[in-house]
Structure 1
Amino acid sequence: MKKILIALAAFTLSVLCYGQTETAGQPDIATSFAERKKLAGNSLVAGYKARNIGPVVQGGRIVDIAVNTSNTKEYYVAYASGGIFKTRNNGITFEPVFDDQGAMGIGAMALAPSDNKTIYVGTGENNSSRSSYAGSGVYKSVDGGQTWRHLGFASTQHIGKIVVHPNDPDQVWVASIGALYTHNVDRGVYKSTDGGQTWKKTLFINDSTGIIDLVINPQNPNQLFASAWERTRKAWSFKGSGPGSGIYRSNDGGDSWTRIMDGFPDGEMVGRIGLNISASSPNIVYAFLDNQAEAKKEKKADEDKDKLKLTDFRDMTPQHLLNLDDEKLNGFLKDNSFPEKYNAQRIKKEIRQGKYQPIAISEYFGDANAALFNTSVVGAELYRSDDSGETWKRMNSYDLEGVYFTYGYYFGEVRVAPDNPDLVYVFGVPLLKSTDGGVTYARIDSIGDVHVDHQALWINPNDSKHLLLGNDGGLYESYDEGANWRHINNMPVGQFYTVNVDMEKPYNVYGGLQDNGTLIGSSKSVPNRTKHWEQLFGGDGMFVSPDPRNKDIVYTGFQFGNYYRVDRSKNDFTKVTPQHDIGEPVLRFNWRTPLILSSHNPDIVYIGAQRVYRSLNRGDDWQAISPDLTKDKPQNNVPFSTISAISESPLRFGLIYVGTDDGNVHVTRGDEWALITEGLPRDKWVSSVFASPHEEAEVYVSLNGYREDEFKTYVFMSDNYGKTWRSLKGNLPEVVVNDLLQDPVNPDLLYVGTDHGTYVSFNKGTTWEILDQIPNVASYDLMVHPRDNELVVGTHGRSIYIVDVKPFQAIAGHVDVAVKVFEPGNIRHSERWGEKRYPYLKAFEPEIAIGYYIGQATPAAVIEIYNAGGELVRRLEGKGAKGFHTVKWDVKVQQADKKKKKKEEPEMQYAAKGKYSIKVINAASSDQTSLEIK
């Protein structure tokens, strides 16, 4: 076997991480985070309450698990886009420990085996998914996650693996997978011997090949194995293999590397490779391959040889088709799921009319070549070396079909039991266990409620029957080698794509989640305390729209435009996705296909493909109301040039704005469609369009370059139907924007959801304030409840937050007002205030939160409370800094006692029933509101 030594001198020089190259013209994510922190320190809404309503029932995508092996009740769970959670009580409760860092998308983490306090974290998910967010580098904590230090690596964007020396927490290796959508040189293996202060890059393949996995020989830490992976994702294509992929070994602590491929596949079709070393027999190494080579399958006996196939129509003449038996043609149409309106009689009539040729039937579902050849790939394969990687042998005795399907890039992990080199776990969609070194397998996640799509597995080194499993549905634990599992789903880590609400009291919140379907829950939900959310639908949940007249009627569905009208009262599901006619171009649906109900009549439904479709009868029938609004760019294996956003004006029926993933924005006022991109950045993904609820000619647009690894801010508004545009970036840091909308009550109030937090503007986008009580997580979808005036924030990693924006509505456009107090709401009196039901319980103490705003700063504000007779009964002191504040009133008032001397503190008693006035005084200015104790 030819061995290639990889030890380029240019990469063996020690370099500070902050000296790494940055993609030309791109903002540095770590620098942008520093700007966000500065903005948060001066925010008018600093500390403003945002309540998380969950859900927790569905879990979320876990990418790594790190356990304190000296105390297995303490461990860390890393989420793809939700940060890191830590438990000290074996999963009964968790606390987030990474919320205030530069990025919450995690690629890998490693706990130092020698002290179990030092932990390294690499940000930027390594699964190369559509929602794998770029990271801000590598971080280190030496106190179990209480504090963190940034070690650089911001330009690497995605980290594949981190390994810490078993005896020295300062010796660490980082495997960088690199940028997801573009090529960059910040890939490879980096080594540090001083705890991350300095690094040297010791393995580099090319600018499109990164290192996805890295393992160390526990008995000989100088020996490491690395797997390289060549891959590039584009908005229209994903290439998950290449000749750069392969396995490398170092015998000198990672200073130099040798390519070791004897017996292992090599070349263009080598995809992601997962590695693991047997702790008990470290000469045994496993490699789990995503083999993209074409599968050569034996042809099955053709039981249906007389049935028509799509390919039969490719070269068929019209006369041949007209001669087909009607029953045979009808069977073909039904078997291949053609629209119900097509039958043999209609097909033959349209062929006679010359509407299309028979080849159009062959091409109805997509590319004719795909229909003709219908190729498949080998997929998952397990290889083993018994000589430390010198030679490899394929182990699986049969094809592992159904493990990877077409997306092996999403998985690629293998684990070996610490005490048995033949006990192996491999995982993809299912979790498989082999007890004979990978020759045969059994599925171990099919018993009980275990989610699919597995991403992480920890095996207790002191008890190999004890497993912790992480997948797209959260965290699971087993004490019997996977025979039985318990689901630890108590963290609000849902990855929401969309949110919506109904008009119930209290209102319900609906949302579509990554790989967890569509859920519904109360807006008053409290994670782990109130009723679990209800699942409406499966798949990757996308848009969901409840009928405002009847909460039992909900439109929802899953990826690529598969939508249904659901009647919850009857458990009835009717598919409503429009279908093109034979002979028309195949409809292209976005991964997150927009579907909305008209605010003028909820029986009217809009959906976007490359054209806009409208139904006037709840999705039963559809009409295309636009031409192709995209640039119709070439695409490969991912649908592209699709509609990504639709907004109908609530002020005028037929006034519709549409954005596409290839950078177009169009408007119609009910007749022609006009392209309105002049003044907007070119070829960017339109993430949102929003027609103003206040001015007919006003519209808001957000765009982003996420799928080009560009992290700039693009937010715009127009006041003339899109003829001209004005940037609303203001003081926003450079950040990818997902949503932009205007408040329904106050036109000066705007909201922005970004990949790194949620922002509000009180002056129509001139300046922005960050809502710092929502973590630094991607806010994917926003809406304001039309009755309750609460902002609902769907995050992609930390479930759903709700913010009361009535105070925002009151001061937007008037941020310099001296003082403004907000109605605190009424409270019911209780004779049990201050009492304990039992001596060991806490007393029942009432509390009222009094919120106010200071627009002109003073040292302090004074809050005075008066009874119905106008007597001052309580005085409190509050903060006088500019911004929103809250003072807690314990509902106690001064007790009148004429015998007391003036200097003595008056006794306090609970306030009686009645009406009270609250006055907030700021220097010479004041504002007043009222409440009632009923």
Structure 2
Amino acid sequence: MKKYFLIGLLSVSLCSLAQESLPLVVQQKNELDQNSWVKNVPFERIYTPEIGNQINHFDIRKDNPLEWMVAPASGGLWLSKDAGITYENIFQNQPTQQIKTFAVHWGKGIIWVATPYGLFTSKDKGNSWFFGGLPEFKTIESVHINSRNTDEVVVAVLGNPFDADEKRGVFKTSDEGKTWQHSLFVGNRAGVSQIIDTPNGQTLFASVWHDESTTWKSIPYGSMSAVYKSEDFGTSWSKVSTDGFLSGNFIGKIGLAAHGDEKVYAVVDNRGSKTRSVATRNLAKITNIHLLERDFEAMNKTDFLNLDDNKLNAFLHAIGQDKKYTAQNLKDMISAEITSPARLMIFLGIRQQEVIGAEVYVTSDGGKTWQKTHSQPLEDVFYQNGNQFGAITVDPNNDKHLFIGAYPLLESVDGGKSWQSKHNVSLDNSFEKIYYRNNTLYATSKKGLAISYTQGKDWIFRNVPQSVSFTKIGYDKHQKSLFLASEQGVFMSKNNIWTKISSQRQLFGSENDIYVGSGNGIFYRYNVEKNTFLRLKSLYTSENKAPLRFGKQTPLLVSQHNSDVLYVGSNKMRFSSDRGQNWRTISEDLTIGSKKGNDIYATISAIAESPLSVGLLYVGSDDGTIHITSNGGTTWQSMYASNSNAFKVNNLVASKHHQKRVFATFSHPDKTNPEPLIFMSEDQGVTWTELRSNLPDGRINIVKEDPKNEQIIYLGTDSGLYVSFNLGESWHSFGSLPATGILDIFINDGTSDILVSTAGYGVFKSSLEVIQPLRVAIVAQDFFPLREKVRIEHSNRWGNTWSDWESPELPITHFEVFASKEMKLQIKIMKGKVTLQSFTYKTSKGFNYIPYDMTISSVGKVMFERVAKRISLETASDGRVYLPKGEYTIVFSVEGGFDEERILEIY
């Protein structure tokens, strides 16, 4: 393996960018798709529970609120003309389904969408699309079309969230994307998070956000955060957040809403420190008791363990430690007597430091002067997560009527002087985007698009059907139950009935043992038969001399050799021989080491156990280390440590075919970098070979070995599903899936079925039965039918219906063949010497699935009855004649001269 990785940074002119053809990465992916052997492999959708999906952007048509567009996270672009009752995907055949934001001119049908590959535009309401420029720009947050001159478009670019980036600010085109001007640049750590327009069509306001965050420390604020104004539709800009606006070094994200041309409201994430003891608490409260650090001083162990989890979690949110710890983590430490309530904060190395949080400002003169609208603080709105929000909206018919969206939903009817909560606070859910018009409130959350006709009191969801994302697939083969994990919880399908079994977000194990987790090292074992959960014993024990570091996606591994044995990774490895009822530490810190910060970092991120050798374990961390033990954790050896660019080890797979073979995948610390990093070792990690080959860009989410063919590897990346038939020397893309990320892969060893969970499109199923036996002898042939016998169960319903109100059953089967090139075939279905049906088919290179509808031609019917004499073939109610039970010959005649024969059995 290389000991370092070089990341190329593209420079960008600050004056003009010419429109290009499709970005190189898209061209490469298109070429790979066209030449793929598996582009025709069919997948069918597995219908899953409608749990909703995060919404990246939505737009309501102002003159017809029944018509809107929605961009679910990684789920395409959908048009509804009936207020969300039905949807049509108008972006489904494009290079990606990942849309961050979009803009639409409803009258002319012009649409601009922002994707990871740049901008795409349509002039006919999504019937056709063209590339619009700005390739590989990171995090485009907002797009606006000039309503008076649709050739003009402005784009807000936030840029790289973890590093300096010159490609930030506002970019404008005046020629439909042929060229672009960088019209606003504030700094290489300050991007633009939002642009809003005003009724006059020329005046724009932009929100600049200064963010100095790193992988391990959140610093989403700075002195460059500000509001800028343009009066020429984005050609020139001036800073207007001066007189009366928040100033200093602690200005976070700013959300904007305009009423008319001059009045603008801004909700600001003020990261300045405050002391809650002097804060007035007259605002309507969600949590009625606030914990303070000093409250712990007089507590004993019992008092602390009896604290309400919601209030303890709210305390962690308030002090900015919610990404590192949960209420249960703290209780586990106190229960194990690692420390005492009085010394807890010292033990964790943190101190209480709450921030001011949400503040609302208003200008009535176009930004010349500002004033804060409220004298009382807005408590428990952002906590220390204001970087996730910035949602504010104003009633177009009443400039005093406002809403703010965050953990609670707040409403003001007096221009922001006073606020009332419209929805209870939930630390697991929040209001991310809000929009108010015609007495209707629209809001997005992790559960999708919600609508309220009662000012936020009651809500209905109008989500795109099956626009869901599941991060993990599990299967209990004994109970024949399918499990899916998502941000909305864990769901189980038994007898084709879906049930939500847990609010946890992680899923582990398969076959006999199912475990769920909430991250931060908290797990439960699920008994499928009894439908009960048992919490595993705390991973904190008195032997811990320092806090354990658990990632939000803490890995748990059930041993393949003994299902009673569990492994869990924090910064150290923990081992249990009794399904989590007792634990012991079997390693020292296996990471490079903790960095001071408020984000989780330096934790174990991947664990793999060799199915061929008891005690052989591989462990990877999120700061770029790989360790190995061959004796169950008695001794450990470092096999890899990355350089200053600490790449996260997100997958380790120990081969089931060769004891010393192991696969590792990495992701960049810059989470916007899409380079796919996959490596293989044949000597237990001593040396590594890179396997990228012809893989297009796309972070790797999952890697799987084929259970039957040691040469085959499957990859799920942010750009799709791929397979290699030669251990990574070359890759082929599955072309019949949506162009979105693949989050997990599950292969049923017994049936050869493959299930894949997608980002934004649910779960799909296919069969690997004809793919797995692929070998050199088959590939070397020009043409090869992959089944010796095709068996189909006969039905009297073929072509028939028993009611005038139902459609006849129309059978279809596929003849699977492999072709080394494009060729023309003639396919004959024969009984003896009689040709019953004949048709042609043009193959593509690779696997082909030739459809056949089980029918007999009119000539074939006559010839068959003439030969058979005593048999009369009946015509079905749809006017066709179908094959009766029996055995037939399939003849594949290849253009150029040779035939291949196989058996078709109708039983």
Answer with 801-810 or 330-339: which moved more: 330-339
Q: Hey, what's the Cα distance between the residues in 2 that align with 1:634 and 1:765?
A: 35
Q: Taking structure 1 as reference, are residues 147 and 234 closer, same or farther at Cα in structure 2, changes over 3 Å only? A: farther
Q: Give the distance between the partners of 2:125 and 2:279, measured in 1 at CA.
A: 57
Distance apart, 1:572 and its partner CA? 3.3
Aligned to 2:552: 591
**Residue 83 (structure 2) aligns with:** 90
Letter in 1 for 2:356: V
3-state SS of the aligned residue for 1:683?
coil
Distance in structure 2 (CA, Å) of the matches to 1:87 and 1:928: 50
**Cα–Cα, structure 1 residues 723 and 707, in superposed 2: closer, same or farther, change >3 Å?**
same
Q: Which runs of 5+ in 2 are unaligned?
A: 1-11, 281-287, 308-326, 868-872
The match for 1:778 is 741
Tell me whether 1:453 sits opposite 2:426 in the alignment: no
Q: 1:512 aligned to 2:512?
A: no
* Aligned with residue 404 of structure 1, among 368, 372, 382: 382
Query: What amino acid does structure 2 have at the position aligned with 1:379?
Result: G
Which deviations, in whole Å up to 9, do the C-alpha atoms of 1:813-847 show, x marking residues without a partner? 54334303247875443333222334454332222
Deviation of the 1:384 alpha carbon: 1.6
Check conservation: 1:819, 1:920, Cα contact below 8 A.
no
Report the aligned-residue RMSD. 3.6
Q: Aligned partners of 2:898, 2:422: CA distance in 1, in Å?
A: 69
Matched, 1:815 2:779: yes
The residue type paired with residue 730 of structure 2 is: T
Q: Given that residues 73 and 759 in structure 2 are in contact (C-alpha distance below 8 angstroms), is that contact kept between their aligned partners in structure 1?
A: no
Contact 1:365 1:586 in 2 (8 A): no
User: What's the CA shift for 1:368?
Assistant: 4.5
Letter in 2 for 1:243: S
Cα separation, 2, equivalents of 1:422 and 1:341: 48
Change (3 A) 1:233 1:339: closer
Distance 1:754 1:567 in 2: 32
> How do 1:421-820 residues align onto structure 2 when only pairs under 5 Å count?
421-445=399-423, 452-460=429-437, 464-503=438-477, 507-514=480-487, 516-521=488-493, 533-538=498-503, 541-546=505-510, 548-549=511-512, 554-567=514-527, 569-581=530-542, 583-670=544-631, 671-677=634-640, 683-705=646-668, 707=670, 709-813=672-776, 814-817=778-781, 818-820=783-785
Q: Which among 192, 195, 208 is matched to residue 228 of structure 1?
A: 208
Q: Which residue of 2 aligns with 1:857?
A: 821
Match status 1:257 vs 2:234: no
Match of residue 188 from structure 2: 207
2:317 matched residue in structure 1 = none
* Number of positions where the alignment pairs a residue of Structure 1 with one of Structure 2: 851
CA distance 1:17–1:367, change in 2 (3 Å): farther
Q: Give 1:108's aligned residue.
A: 101
1:156 is paired with a residue whose SS is: coil
1:195 equivalent to 2:176? Answer yes
Aligned in 2, Cα 1:791/1:635: closer, same or farther, shift over 3 Å? farther
For residue 165 of structure 1, report the CA deviation from its aligned partner.
Answer: 1.8
- 1: CA distance, partners of 2:265 / 2:330: 48
Q: Which amino acid in structure 1 is aligned with residue 535 of structure 2?
A: T
Q: How far did residue 300 of structure 1 move?
A: 9.9
Matched, 1:909 2:843: no
Aligned-partner SS, 2:255: strand
Equivalent residues of 1:290, 1:379 under 8 A apart: yes
Q: 1:100 to 1:830 in 2, by over 3 A?
A: closer
**In 2 relative to 1, CA 289–151 (structure 1 residues): closer, same or farther, beyond 3 Å?**
same
With over 3 angstroms needed to count, the CA separation of the structure-2 counterparts of 1:720 and 1:369, relative to structure 1, is closer
Equivalent position to 1:16, from 4, 14, 18 = 18
Q: Structure 1 416/680 Cα, relative in aligned 2: closer, same or farther at 3 Å? A: closer
Cα gap change, 1:362 to 1:511, in 2 (>3 Å): farther
Which deviates more, 909-918 or 60-69? 909-918
Q: From the superposition, tell whether residues 473 and 853 of structure 1 become closer, same or farther in structure 2 (CA, over 3 Å).
A: same
The aligned amino acid for 2:41 is: Y
1:626 Cα offset (Å): 2.2
Q: Secondary structure in 2 aligned to 1:686?
A: strand
Secondary structure in structure 2 of the residue aligned to 1:454: coil
Is 203-212 or 788-797 further displaced after alignment?
788-797
1:651 Cα offset (Å): 1.7
CA shift, 1:766, in A, is: 1.2
On the 8 A contact 2:626/2:641 being kept in 1, the answer is no
Q: Does residue 245 of the first structure (1) align with residue 225 of the second (2)?
A: yes
Deviation at 1:785, TM superposition (A): 1.8
Amino acid at match of 2:57: D
Change over 3 Å in CA distance of 1:808–1:382 after alignment to 2: same
State the TM-score, normalizing by the size of structure 2.
0.86
- Which secondary structure state, in structure 1, belongs to the residue aligned with residue 509 of structure 2? strand
Determine helix, strand or coil for the equivalent of 2:24: helix
* 1:925–1:760 CA distance, 2 compared to 1 (3 A): farther
Partner SS state of residue 154, structure 2: strand
**Secondary structure of the corresponding residue to residue 496 of structure 1:** coil
Q: For 2:293 and 2:789, locate their aligned partners in 1 and report how far apart those are by CA, in whole Å.
A: 70
> Take 2:734 and 2:649, find their aligned partners in 1: how far apart are those partners?
24
TM-aligned CA distance change 1:570 to 1:151, over 3 Å: closer
Distance change >3 Å, CA 466–CA 330, structure 1 → 2: closer
1:41 maps to: 34
Matches within 5 A, 1:858-873: 859-866=823-830, 873=836
745 and 11 in structure 1: CA distance in 2 versus 1, 3 angstrom threshold = closer
Deviation at 1:228, TM superposition (A): 0.5
* CA–CA distance in structure 2, aligned partners of residues 96 and 306 of structure 1: 48
TM-score normalised by structure 1 residue count? 0.84
Cα offsets for 1:216-239 (capped at 9, x unmatched): 111x22221111001144221221
Distance in 2 separating the partners of 1:760 and 1:12: 41
Which letter maps to 2:815? I
CA contact 2:113–2:121 (8 Å) conserved in 1:
yes
Gaps of 5+ in 1: 1-9, 20-28, 124-134, 314-326, 348-355, 526-530
Instruction: Work out whether residues 564 and 577 of structure 1, in 8 Å CA contact, stay in contact via their aligned partners in 2.
Output: no
**Letter matched to residue 53 of structure 1:** I
Does 2:857 match 1:895? no
> What's 1:294 paired with?
273
Task: Give 2:257's aligned residue.
Answer: 276
Q: Is the 8 A contact 2:647 2:666 kept in 1?
A: yes
- CA distances 1:714-756 after superposition (whole Å, capped 9, x unpaired): 2111111112211211211243222222101111111111121
Aligned to 1:81: 74
Worse-superposed segment, 391-400 or 173-182: 391-400
